[in-house]
């Protein structure tokens, strides 16, 4: 487990040596839970809103191409709610993770870029509460949520260069997370849409 925790930090250290810019983003999540093989049938779920933060590095453009890589550490609130048969249910979950993406700049002007991104994400639960009416339960060690969640992400980013050393971003990302640590019959799939704003600063 300790070795697993060290992996993101080793990757960041290695990646920093070839990084050209550092970035920070803050955004809002709209999350949809899909509960499979639950004891209660047909739970009508509503999307929940949460916050997101990410800090990471952007590589130089690959020689003679419009491609580059990013690697970042993220914090996400992935929430959901449900109201049925006199029950008010609420899920509040916070995840930390590592995001990697392969990016392609498909439109470029003097100060603006439009960028497509495709990548992977690894997330793990650091806080989790489920509330049914007035009763609250800790789900931090619940196998449906705890452990390692992995997924694919895709999105679109608009980048505006303020000057040669810094710029601002506006982005949209869609990701679906699957818990690969859960071996029980009850499964949870998290689908998340994220809208974010952020900035980049050149370091080389």
- Which residue ranges make up each domain of the chain? 2-202
Taking 70 as the threshold, does the pLDDT of residue 151 lie above it? yes
Instruction: Give dist(CA 116, CA 107) in Å, integer.
Output: 10
Q: Give the tens place of pLDDT for each residue, 18-46.
A: 568 999 999 999 999 987 765 555 677 89
| Res. 173: pLDDT tops 80 | yes
Name which of 41-45, 73-77, 147-151, 198-202 the model is least confident about.
Answer: 41-45
Report whether pLDDT(11) > 70. Answer: no
Per-residue pLDDT of 94-106, as tens digits, reads 999 999 999 999 9
H or E segment to which residue 7 belongs: helix 2-16
For residue 169, the model assigns a pLDDT of: 97
- Altogether, the residues listed in the chain come to a count of 204
Task: Give the residue from 140, 174, 135, 168 showing the smallest Cα distance to 154.
Answer: 174
**pTM for this model (two decimals):** 0.88
Q: What is the mean pLDDT of the chain?
A: 88
Between 174 and 85, where is the model more confident?
Answer: 174
**What integer is the mean pLDDT of 122-133?**
94
pLDDT value at residue 37: 65
pLDDT of residue 9: 54
Computed from CA positions of residues 197, 101, 156, 110, in that sequence, does the dihedral angle turn out positive or negative?
positive
* Averaged pLDDT for residues 58-64: 86
pLDDT over 70 at 87, yes or no:
yes
**Which residues fall within 8 angstroms of residue 187, CB to CB, at 6 or more apart?**
35, 36, 37, 144, 179
Query: Residue 2 above 50 pLDDT?
Result: no
The tokens for 120 are: 């992977």
Give the E-state strand segments of the chain in sequence order.
Answer: 19-36, 45-59, 67-77, 80-84, 87-108, 112-132, 135-138, 148-163, 166-179, 187-202
SS3 59: strand
- Answer yes or no: is pLDDT of 8 > 70: no
Task: Look at residue 154 in the predicted model and tell me its pLDDT.
Answer: 98
In the CATH hierarchy, which top-level class contains the domain 2-202? mainly beta
């Amino acid at each position: 487990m300790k070795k697993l925790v060290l992996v993101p930090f080793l990757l960041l250290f290695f990646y920093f040596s070839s990084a050209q810019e550092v970035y920070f983003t803050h955004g809002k999540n709209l999350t949809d839970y899909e509960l499979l093989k639950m004891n209660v049938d047909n739970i009508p779920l509503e999307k929940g809103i949460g916050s997101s933060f990410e800090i990471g590095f952007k590589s130089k453009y690959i020689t003679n191409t419009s491609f580059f890589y990013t690697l970042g550490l993220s914090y996400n609130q992935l929430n959901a709610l449900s109201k049925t048969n006199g029950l008010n249910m609420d899920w509040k979950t916070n995840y930390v993770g590592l995001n990697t993406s392969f990016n392609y700049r498909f439109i470029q002007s003097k100060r603006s870029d439009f960028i497509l991104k495709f990548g992977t994400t690894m997330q793990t639960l650091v806080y989790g509460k489920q509330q049914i009416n007035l009763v609250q339960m800790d789900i931090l060690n619940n196998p449906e949520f705890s452990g390692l969640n992995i997924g694919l992400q895709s999105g679109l980013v608009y980048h505006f260069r303020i000057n040669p050393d810094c710029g601002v971003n506006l982005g949209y990302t869609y990701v679906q997370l699957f818990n690969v640590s859960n071996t029980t019959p009850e499964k949870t799939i998290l689908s998340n849409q994220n809208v974010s704003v952020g900035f980049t600063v050149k370091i080389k």
